Amino acid sequence: MVTGEVINSNVEQYLTDFVLEAGKIGKILETLGLVVILWIIFQFISFMLHRKKAKVLDSIQRDLKRIEKKVDNLNKTKKK
């Protein structure tokens, strides 16, 4: 009987320790999940900002090419 109580006590202690460790691991995973979600949100915002800047740069580049063509045409007409 005494050994049965000792075994039951040890099993309860192991289960309690296991549950506590699982809880710690759960908190760690929860924290990692939160970090990943925040990283994804940051990447999305960064992507949107870079996309807007790229559109502005593309429009400026198109305008510059158009202006260069006009200047070239003016130079050609003046030379003639």
Q: Which residue has the tokens 């192991």?
A: 14
**Of the candidates 16, 18, 36, 15, the residue with the CA atom closest to the CA atom of residue 26:** 18
Handedness of CA 16, 22, 24, 26 (dihedral sign): negative
pTM metric for this prediction: 0.55
In this model, does residue 41 exceed pLDDT 70?
yes
CA 70 remoteness from chain centre: 44
DSSP assigned state of 80: -
- Inter-CA distances, 11 with 15, 19, 25, 46, Å: 6, 12, 21, 52
For residue 2, what pLDDT band results from cuts at 50, 70 and 90?
very low
Q: What is the mean pLDDT of residues 18-32?
A: 87
42-53 pLDDT, tens digit each: 999 999 999 999
